[in-house]
Structure 1
Amino acid sequence: MTSTNVYHGSCHCGDVKYQVRLTLPPTMDTDRNAKTVRIYKCNCSTCQKMGFFHCRPISLTEDFIVTSPADIKDVGDYRCFRKVNGWYFCKKCGVRTFGVGGAWEQEELDVEKWAGRESDGKTQTVWKTKPIWYKGPDMKGNQEEREVHYVSVNAVTLETGEGGVDLRKWHEDGYLIYVDCRDFSEPSMTPHAQGMY
């Protein structure tokens, strides 16, 4: 049985805060266009060095908001290779909270209503993402033109305990897959070459 809930995430010091809506359990469909949450570890050098534990919501535009800090420029942004995706981190404590490929836009949002809770109608300014158009090299060096929109929260920055997530349960229940970004082979239930558990 699936259920949809909003989970809070933050860096260690709490300066960077976000919320993500997840429908669990994920369907273990390898089709990249399947409408499912994606929970995975990747063997690319970036994710390996950062220890990034990917958790991607279904709707990148509607299921992820940043509630703090007030200005997204106050969050650190590391970009590598094609410089399309930003790997965001807290400038105070250094924790990597999420990765985004796309543009940021501010929105006044009733966060309680967005989260499916009873609301008093108050709104706050949040940051959401939207797609951008990319023209440049793909992962193999070939030229491409396409729309880019990518959102992945670092699952280790999600709040745990009551109302939070249990990463051990995700592993034990088989929610986690391993993605091969070195040789581009099919996703697996065990790490690929040079990958990590």
Structure 2
Amino acid sequence: MSTTGVYHGSCHCGSIKYQIRLTFPPSLTDKDPAAKTIRIYKCNCSTCQKMGYFHLRPINASDDFILTSPSTIEELGDYRCFDRKVGWYFCKTCGVRTFGLGGEWEQVELDVEKWAGKEDGEGQAQKVWKTKPMDIKKVVDGKEVTKSAHYVSVNAVTLEAGQEGADLRKWHEQGWIFYVDSKNHKEAMRFGEPHEGGMY
């Protein structure tokens, strides 16, 4: 039986705070990137390896992730590498990498308690940051095409401890973590064992 809840995460010093809606358990059989399931995985690319990044992706990047602090995006550290389309955001104070975004930011007024599914909330709206898709231009067969892209992945180790369902040890014990070969692009995603150069 699946359960959906909103989970809180932050950097170590608390300057960055986010909330993410997750439905457990993830599907372990659907390998379609557009499948309606959360993704829990580790990647063997040089970026993720050097960061020690533990990917946790929501079902809907637009609707299932909000940034509640800081008040401006400029207060976040933003590291971009390779094609520079994904921002790997971190806290400028404590250095913790909290999430990655391939998309655009938009500030909205939102009743956060209602968004989190609390019926007895105070009904007060506050300014938060959400994400939306971005347009990427590519040349395919000599023609320029525009594709919409949207990617949000929080670093699972930045979830607050003690939240029901957010037990990273249990995820490992239940075999929910999969591994991707982004370094060599030779092997399919798999469970149980990292690819060459990857980490458990």
Bucket of the pairwise TM-score, normalised by the shorter protein: over 0.9
**CA apart distance, 1:137:** 7.7
Runs of 4+ aligned residues of structure 1 deviating over 3 Å after TM superposition are: none
CA contact (8 A) 2:2 2:23 kept: yes
The answer for the alignment partner of 2:2 in structure 1 is 2
Count residues with an aligned counterpart.
Answer: 193
- Aligned 1:99-110 pairs, distance under 5 A: 99-110=100-111
Q: Is the 8 A contact 1:8 1:20 kept in 2?
A: yes
Deviation at 1:147, TM superposition (A): 1.2
Structure 2 unaligned spans of 5+: none
Tell whether 2:36 aligns with 1:35.
yes
Q: Distance in 1 between matches of 2:46 and 2:172?
A: 22
Task: Please tell me whether the aligned partners of residues 181 and 189 of structure 2 are also in contact (alpha carbons under 8 angstroms).
Answer: yes
Query: CA 1:137/1:39 → structure 2, altered by over 3 Å: closer, same or farther?
Result: farther
Q: CA deviation at 1:179?
A: 0.7
Matches within 5 A, 1:13-162: 13-28=13-28, 29-117=30-118, 118-136=120-138, 145-162=146-163
Q: Distance in 2 between matches of 1:63 and 1:132?
A: 17
Residues 179-188 or 160-169, more deviating: 160-169
In structure 1, what is the Cα distance between the partners aligned to 2:10 and 2:145? 35
User: 1:122, 1:183 → 2: CA distance?
Assistant: 49
User: Following the alignment from structure 1 to structure 2, what is the Cα–Cα distance between the partners of residues 94 and 19?
Assistant: 19
TM-score relative to the length of structure 2: 0.93
Contact 2:99 2:152 in 1 (8 A): yes
Shift of 1:22: 0.2
Question: RMSD of the TM alignment (CA)?
Answer: 1.5
CA distance in 2: counterparts of 1:81 and 1:193, whole angstroms: 20
Cα distance between partner residues in 1 of 2:96 and 2:182: 23
User: How far apart, in 2, do the equivalents of 1:183 and 1:89 lie?
Assistant: 27
Please give the secondary structure, in 2, of the residue aligned with 1:46: helix
SS at match of 2:74: helix
Change (3 A) 1:162 1:40: closer
The amino acid across from 1:121 in the alignment is G
**TM-score, normalised via structure 1 length:** 0.94
* Contact 1:8/1:164, CA 8 A, preserved across alignment: no
Distance 1:129 1:77 in 2: 15
Match of 1:192 in 2: 195
User: How big is each residue's C-alpha offset from its partner over 1:101-135, in whole Å with a ceiling of 9 and x where there is no partner?
Assistant: 00000000000000001211101100000001112
SS at the partner of 2:190? coil
